[in-house]
Amino acid sequence: MNETILKADNISISFGGLKAVDSVSFEIQKGEIMGLIGPNGAGKTTIFNLITQFYKLDEGSICFLGNDLSKFKPHQIIEKGVARTFQNVELFKSMTVLENLLVGQHSEINYNIFQGVIRTKKVKEEEQIAIERAMEVLKILEIEDYAYFYAGHLPYGVQKLVELGRALVSGPKLIILDEPAAGMNDTETKEFAKKIRFVKEKFGLTILLIEHDMSLVMSICNRIMVLNFGKKIAEGTPEEISSNSEVIKAYLGEEV
């Protein structure tokens, strides 16, 4: 269990004069669910963008399973085993849910454009496998009924699940989720928490999660890291965090 999967060492980035992330270090252990919380604008999403190389580090390093991620381009990150979802859902709206999950397997599907053009047997086989895999994931997330719906027309909650499915289907080792429960009500959030736990076991995942819904964070995270003004102000178990006075002051407010 205690194997470090991702190690961020003193990472920083600034925008103009603003230090959005300021010398933050953390480690994620294999198989855990780590929460990342902090006030709005604290730099959480920015850390995700740094991990996935949408932003380039000003300083520090991010190491994932022995790979220095800064050596890679954004599209190569998933091949290393890191998948993500977005704070504002970013689906391929004109595609069906199934197709979204097929794109999710882009790097897994193994044929080249020439084979694609003449649609060789291999292409058909690979496609078939991909479809089966996608359907399997949809079933697990219980959204297989939507498989042939256009993603852009779905209810928000379903879109969030599709996005999760798209990230899962590539078989990542680490999955990073940016406010997956935003816009869900408490009941839906509970359902969602169950699903997360389930897929985590099923796929042997490690999860890094940003969320403002404390009921979700406190119930599923093994460990939580708290950010404020780009700096890490606390790290610990949910219990430790919810009683940390600095965290209460900066983030949680008086009662939880």
Q: Which stretch in 42-50, 107-115, 117-125, 214-222 sits in contact with ligand ATP by CB under 6 A?
A: 42-50
SS3 170: coil
Least Cβ distance, residue 45 to Mg ion (angstroms): 3
Choose from Mg ion, ligand ATP, another protein, none: what does 75 bind? Cβ within 5-8 Å by kind: another protein
What is the nearest approach in angstroms of Mg ion to the Cβ of residue 33?
Answer: 18
Q: Is 100 exposed, middle or buried (0-12, 13-18, 19+ CB in 10 A)?
A: buried
- For residue 19, the minimal CB distance to ligand ATP (Å) is 9
Of 45, 170, 189, 206, the one binding ligand ATP (CB under 6 A) is 45
The residue with tokens 């919810």 is 242
The number of beta carbons lying within 10 Å of the beta carbon of residue 84 is: 22
Phi, psi (5° rounding) for residue 211?
A: -160, 145
Positions touching Mg ion (CB under 5 A) are 45, 87
Which C-beta is closer to ligand ATP: that of 47 or that of 169? Answer: 47
DSSP 179-233: STTTT--HHHHHHHHHHHHHHHHHHT-EEEEE-S-HHHHHHH-SEEEEEETTEEE
Of ligand ATP, Mg ion, another protein, none, which one sits near residue 131, judging by CB under 5 to 8 A according to partner kind?
Answer: none
Task: Please tell me the total number of residues recorded for the chain in this structure.
Answer: 256
- Determine the interface stretch with ligand ATP among 26-34, 40-48, 118-126, 127-135 (rule: CB under 6 A): 40-48
Q: Of these, 8, 26, 33, 43, which contacts ligand ATP (CB under 6 A)?
A: 43
Pick out residues in 145-204 that bind ligand ATP (CB under 6 A).
Answer: 155-156, 183
DSSP assignment letter at 96: B
CB 42 within 8 A of CB 227: yes
Tell me the window of 33-41, 74-82, 112-120, 239-247 that interacts with ligand ATP (CB under 6 A).
Answer: 33-41
> Measured between alpha carbons, how far is 55 from 62 in angstroms, rounded to an integer?
12
Over the range 58-81, which residues count as b (16 or more CB within 10 Å of their CB) and which as e? eebebbbbebebeebeeeebbebb
- Residue from 26, 34, 44, 50 in contact with ligand ATP (CB under 6 A): 44
In angstroms, give the least distance from the CB of 17 to ligand ATP: 10
Which of 40, 88, 94, 187 binds ligand ATP (CB under 6 A)? It is 40
Amino acid at 186: D
Least separation in angstroms between CB 57 and another protein: 17
Closest CB 32 distance from another protein, rounded Å: 22
Q: In what order do the strands lie in the sheet with 82-84?
A: 82-84, 174-178, 206-210, 33-37, 223-228, 231-236
Q: Which is nearer to ligand ATP, 60 or 116 (CB)?
A: 60
**Pick 164 or 169: Cβ nearer ligand ATP:** 164
Residue numbers at the binding site for ligand ATP (CB under 6 A): 15, 18, 20, 38, 40-46, 87, 155-156, 183
